[in-house]
Structure 1
Amino acid sequence: MTDHRPRCPRCAHGSVRTLYSSPVPGVWDVLQCGRCLYTWRTSEPARRTCRDAYPEAFRLSPEDMANAAEVPTVPPLRTTGTTGTPGQPN
């Protein structure tokens, strides 16, 4: 028997949830992996939606994720100058 449940193309995890479905039913869904958080639309090409076609260089294993460096925090926004435009010199 073939398992037709979606699996994550990046890490092969089976916990995938639907984030959004197209306004026209059945056209596409936006899916997200519960483990690595990879997100894709089902209408994208196989290299983005199918584990067998997903580029090997970008695949993740459970070991890759366990040994990944911590993602740095996003620094606070800078305050605006007198021009009112962020990032512009005063």
Structure 2
Amino acid sequence: MTDCCPRCAHESVRTLHSSPVPGVWDVLQCGRCLYTWRTSEPARRTRRDAYPEAFRLSSDDMANAAEVPTVPPLRSSGPSQKTGLTDG
């Protein structure tokens, strides 16, 4: 397992899921920035020292980040715009 998040270097990383075949890959997630990656991905996605500097986050970046927009409410039920089917 990794010792820190590749994106923000936070040390709280948890395993979200493991491959059906033991030891092949794990899906990990950072406890601070929520970056998620599979251990089988290339080093530029899984290791802090190889993660692109342009996309790295510092603790200051995290503290001063703009607020994430909220998800808009669901549309009312009715005909589906994609298929023309109705609910129920």
* TM-score, normalisation: structure 1: 0.84
Residues 8, 16 of structure 1: 8 Å contact kept: yes
Corresponding residue for 2:8? Answer: 11
Residues 30, 42 of structure 1: 8 Å contact kept: yes
Query: What are the superposed Cα offsets for residues 9-40 of structure 1, whole Å, 9 maximum, x if unpaired?
Result: 00011110000011111100000001111000
- Distance of aligned partners of 1:5 and 1:47 in 2 relative to their CA distance in 1, 3 Å threshold: closer
The count of corresponding residues between Structure 1 and Structure 2 is: 83
Corresponding residue for 1:26? Answer: 23
Question: Matches of residues 36-55 of structure 1 in structure 2 within 5 Å?
Answer: 36-55=33-52
What is the CA distance between 1:86 and its match in structure 2?
3.9
For residue 75 of structure 2, the aligned residue among 60, 74, 78 is 78
* TM-score, normalisation: structure 2: 0.86
Question: Matches of residues 62-73 of structure 1 in structure 2 within 5 Å?
Answer: 62-73=59-70
RMSD after superposition: 1.8
Give every structure 1 segment of 4 or more consecutive aligned residues whose post-TM-superposition deviation is greater than 4 Å.
none
What is the CA distance between 1:63 and its match in structure 2?
0.1
SS of match in other structure, 1:8: coil
- The percent identity for this pair of structures is 81
